[in-house]
Amino acid sequence: RKLSDALREAFESHSEQFYLLIQPQLAPHDARLVGGELLIRWRHPQLGEVMPGEFLPIVDALGLNEALDRWVMEQGLAWFEAHRIRLPEGFVLAINITLSTLGRDDFLAQLGHIIESRELDPARIELEITEHANFHDLGDIERAMTRLRRLGVRLALDDFGTGHTAFQLLQRLPLNSVKLDRELLQAAGQHGRAQDAYSALVGFCQTLRLGIVAEGVETEEEAQWLVSMGIEVVQGFYFARPMPFDDFLERYGKG
Ligand code: G
Ligand code: G
Ligand code: MN
Ligand code: NA
């Protein structure tokens, strides 16, 4: 109740309570920066720091997903435009988008407008869609994704392995890449069977020529194992935690 009132108020008149962090995505063999994922945070003057796991379900219940997604996209792409010259060639900015936002006309229009007015290269923008229990009507999702791909942006399937994703999704949806969930990697460190499953999944994605991002890399051992399988992009606390934009540019930016 209290949280949901505070959240509504923040959306209506205190958007300064929201801010973005960015977590580096790196090539595991040389730790070269290849991208960054935007991650939203909410700091309320009385309630303090509220984590996304706690407030995103309320955003959803309040029907504010699209507003949040559009805010993140606007802020993130404004930052991208302002600082792209300091970022490496080919840097991809990853933005989490809720499934329900994906097919909205307003969202598509806004994204198209931002890309054009800010003269951004759409191939440097990746939208992450969480593998979701609500992947019922694959036809609708496929059509929404196809419209987005026509803008030239990249699409990634996030948290892969957490839902009951049929392999059908990977074959059918117009995806550029798949983010293998961190729980799968964690499990792979614990049982041989989970390890076999992980490497089979990697092989499957490679055969389909899907890019792979291994999420939740926490140890050197994991990083080396991923390199040995030919994984080209990793994200995880072993390499870097989500951080403010200023720290990110200081650590990875040119000039
Ligand atoms: O940063 P953290 O690991 O606490 O984020 C938890 C989850 O919240 C992420 O896995 C992601 O799915 C979701 N999330 C984080 N930032 C955003 C955002 O900007 N937009 C949306 N829609 N989801 C986000
Ligand atoms: O969108 P997605 O669910 O993938 O969000 C990524 C979340 O995972 C972020 O909230 C980030 O804080 C978290 N995260 C990123 N790297 C690691 C990691 O190495 N270990 C753990 N436990 N969490 C991570
Ligand atoms: Mn994500
Ligand atoms: Na994820």
Does 98 sit in the ligand 1 pocket, CB within 6 Å? yes
Mean pLDDT of 103-130: 96
Is pLDDT at 245 greater than 80 in this prediction? yes
Report if residue 44 sits inside a domain. Answer: no
Q: Are 235 and 27 in contact (CB under 8 A)?
A: no
Q: Which atom of ligand 1 is nearest to the CA of 72?
A: 19
Nearest ligand, measured from the Cα of 51: 1
Report if residue 110 sits inside a domain. Answer: yes
Q: How far apart are CA 198 and CA 218, in angstroms?
A: 16
Give the Å distance between the CA of 236 and the centre of ligand 2.
Answer: 7
Q: What is the pLDDT of residues 7-19, one digit of tens each?
A: 999 999 999 999 9
Does 36 sit in the ligand 2 pocket, CB within 6 Å? no
Is pLDDT at 138 greater than 90 in this prediction? no
Report if residue 202 sits inside a domain. Answer: yes
Average pLDDT of the chain to the nearest whole number: 94
Mean pLDDT of 98-126: 96
Mean pLDDT of 33-58: 97
Q: What is the ipTM score, two decimals? A: 0.96
Residue where the block lists tokens 């987005």: 148
Q: 159: domain range?
A: 24-38+66-252
Nearest ligand, measured from the Cα of 71: 1
Q: Where are the alpha helices (DSSP H) in the chain?
A: 2-13, 52-61, 65-83, 99-102, 105-117, 138-151, 167-172, 182-188, 192-207, 220-228, 245-252
Give the Å distance between the CA of 109 and the centre of ligand 1.
Answer: 23
Report if residue 185 sits inside a domain. Answer: yes
Which residues are 253's β-sheet partners?
Answer: none
Does 90 sit in the ligand 1 pocket, CB within 6 Å? no
Nearest ligand, measured from the Cα of 57: 1
Q: Is the pTM of this model over 0.80?
A: yes
Number of domains present in the structure of the chain: 1
Residues of the chain by 3-state class (helix, strand, coil), percent to 5: 50, 25, 25
Which residues are 18's β-sheet partners?
Answer: 42
Report if residue 223 sits inside a domain. Answer: yes
Is pLDDT at 113 greater than 70 in this prediction? yes
CATH number of residue 82's parent domain: 3.20.20.450
